[in-house]
Structure 1
């Protein structure tokens, strides 16, 4: 499991941003006053961002807070999430069929 600081650094590098540019992008999108120094401390693990900052990072870079924290979604929730995003007007029976199909696919693993 990667640390929060490592996750933040990966997001920043994936977006080809310096620490200053990372802070500026969040500030621009969220109206905050994050500094390069704060980003440096977050990445090094010296301090962790407050909840409000985590939310701002997640919204600005379209990532989940769970992902930033290295949490994994339980398998059952993940199946329901996939089915939910396939189509908004699936019936309960169609959702059950999707779940059965996913279980079938898993049963084919060697």
Structure 2
């Protein structure tokens, strides 16, 4: 399932293997092997891929069909999130990602 999800996410973003590999600082051939199933990413790389594609690791592994990274973190709670809480967390996550992106650009 991982290889299919990686290819799906990459094509959805309309990015080449080469550009994706460069963005993640890995070799294109290494990434290509993830998509063919010849090799699997280590945990750190799997997290980087999930962050890059803005999906959960569970989505990449086929444990859920929900691409949202937040829903997985809170899906097993005894008291499920309300729609309002989900929307709030999504906004907070987006603000954090924008802040992180600006911060990373300052370091370059």
TM-score, structure 1 normalization: 0.61
Structure-1 separation of matches of 2:58 and 2:82: 17
Query: Distance between the aligned counterparts of 1:4 and 1:59, measured in 2?
Result: 15
Of structures 1 and 2, the one with the larger relative CO (CA 8 A, separation 6+) is 1
Question: SS at 2:20's partner residue?
Answer: helix
Structure with greater Cα Rg: 1
After superposition, what is the alpha-carbon deviation per residue over 1:1-44, rounded to whole angstroms, capped at 9, x for unaligned?
xx1011101111111111101111223xxxxxx11101110000
CA distance in 2, matches of 1:22, 1:87: 30
1:4-83 alignment runs, 5 A limit? 4-27=2-25, 34-72=26-64, 77=76, 80-83=80-83
| Gapped regions of structure 1 (runs ≥ 5) | 28-33, 89-110
TM-score, normalised via structure 2 length: 0.62
When the two structures are aligned, how many residues end up with a matched partner?
78
| Structure 2: unaligned runs, 5 residues or longer | 65-71, 90-108
Provide, for residues 26-73 of structure 1, a one-character-per-residue CA deviation record: whole Å limited to 9, x for no partner.
23xxxxxx1110111000000100000001111122110000000036
Q: CA RMSD in A?
A: 2.3
Runs of 4+ in 1 over 4 A off after TM superposition: none
